[in-house]
Amino acid sequence: MTKISNNHVLAADIGGTNTRMAVVNENGDILALLKKTTYCKDGRDKMIKFIVSCAEETIKESRLPKEEICGMGIGFPGPLNVETGTIFNPPNLNGWDNIPLRDILEKELRVPVAIENDANAAALGEWWKGAGSGTSSLFCITLGTGVGGGLVMDGKIWHGASSIAGEIGHTTVIRDGIQCTCGNIGCLERYACSGGILKRVNDALLREGDHAGLQPLKDLKQVSHMVMQGNEIVLNIIKETGVILGIAIANIANLLNPEIIVLFGGVTNLGENLVGPLKEEVNRRAFKKATESLRIELSQLGDNSGILGAAKNILSKL
């Protein structure tokens, strides 16, 4: 028998809305890719069955014999314990309090499983095969329904003392700012997540605009559309969002001095109107020595960041 020298692993990016699963080899090639709506409405046990059946379907699609799958890496919504693979109460999933997901899946699938926070998985993916490839330090900011972050230093995710490191979304950018769901005030997330931007745009249109009869905008596509139509009020909120993100990123630059900061998630679709003012603010606030050695770039892997990070995470443990 020839020894298979190229390890293959299952890699999953499981969210409250979508699940992506793939078979990935040591080079980061994706051999099979499954995309499903996460089946979570009937509770935890059914969702675990859904994960197992996705795993089996993905392996089948890869046409590899099951014995050649050496492990499974998962990106999952936090909070969770990365050492034990136990899930605590993710905000968008019910019944997931203190569930030893890693142990359950290892029993079902009979391979080693490693679970990582989804924002950290995306960061590791971008470091391994994306915008941060070849760097030794990376901070990845996820700008979507929430604002998360993941920190890769010397090729390893930094978890901190209780696995919550990276929470840039809950750093204070405006001392007396907007009340946040986390209990703090003036958190970055309230200004830069999709819902936060939408609320600020609608508030500004109501306050400043001649829009008495207008329905509130419902998503960032409509926001982008109004910017393209030349709406200055909306444009100013997007620019202001870039500036506020720039404050938080300048703080990261001076504090951690990373080689690259990767911007990831749906909010980045706002494009140069957001990213331009963001970069200007970083250059205005951070040390020249920090900005000279810093690249700020958009995600290269997009929706595959999490899968590739999850794959790298389990591969590095085999």
Q: Which of 8, 129, 159, 312 binds a copy of itself (CB under 8 A)?
A: 159
For a copy of itself, give the closer residue by CB, 117 or 313: 117
Per-residue binding letters, 87-126, with a copy of itself (x by CB under 8 A): ----------------------------------------
Q: Which of 8, 20, 102, 170 binds a copy of itself (CB under 8 A)?
A: 170
For a copy of itself, give the closer residue by CB, 64 or 185: 185
124-143 binders of a copy of itself (CB under 8 A): 136-137
Evaluate whether 75 touches 306 at the Cβ level (below 8 Å).
yes
The residue among 73, 65, 62, 70 whose CA lies nearest residue 11 is 73
150 burial (CB, 10 Å; 0-12 / 13-18 / 19+) is buried
Per-residue binding letters, 233-272, with a copy of itself (x by CB under 8 A): --------------x--xxx-xxxxxx-------------
Binding status of residue 150 toward a copy of itself by CB under 8 A: no
Binding status of residue 153 toward a copy of itself by CB under 8 A: yes
The H or E element that residue 6 is part of is none
Least distance (Å) from a copy of itself to the CB of residue 145? 18
171 burial (CB, 10 Å; 0-12 / 13-18 / 19+) is middle
Q: By rule CB under 8 A, what count of residues binds a copy of itself?
A: 46
Residues 295-305: b if buried by 16+ CB within 10 A, e if exposed: ebebbbbeebb
Per-residue binding letters, 56-85, with a copy of itself (x by CB under 8 A): -----------------------x------
Evaluate whether 205 touches 222 at the Cβ level (below 8 Å).
no
Binding status of residue 318 toward a copy of itself by CB under 8 A: no
- CA quadruple 87, 90, 95, 97: dihedral sign: positive
Q: Which of 13, 118, 126, 167 binds a copy of itself (CB under 8 A)?
A: 167
Structure-token pair, residue 219: 């998503």
Binding status of residue 161 toward a copy of itself by CB under 8 A: yes
For a copy of itself, give the closer residue by CB, 24 or 147: 147
Q: What CA–CA distance (Å, rounded) separates 38 from 14?
A: 7
Q: What CA–CA distance (Å, rounded) separates 88 from 91?
A: 9
Binding status of residue 18 toward a copy of itself by CB under 8 A: no
Q: Which stretch binds a copy of itself (CB under 8 A): 47-55, 121-129, 162-170, 195-203?
A: 162-170
Q: What CA–CA distance (Å, rounded) separates 58 from 23?
A: 7
For a copy of itself, give the closer residue by CB, 21 or 80: 80
Q: What CA–CA distance (Å, rounded) separates 235 from 16?
A: 31
Backbone angles phi, psi at 69, to 5 degrees: -90, 115
Q: What CA–CA distance (Å, rounded) separates 171 from 189?
A: 8
Binding status of residue 175 toward a copy of itself by CB under 8 A: yes
Least distance (Å) from a copy of itself to the CB of residue 311? 24
Placement of tokens 């090639």 in the chain: 29
267-296 binders of a copy of itself (CB under 8 A): 284-287, 289-290, 292-294
Helix and strand element counts for the chain (H, E): 10, 12
Residues that bind a copy of itself (CB under 8 A): 79, 136-137, 149, 151, 153, 158-168, 170-175, 182-185, 247, 250-252, 254-259, 284-287, 289-290, 292-294
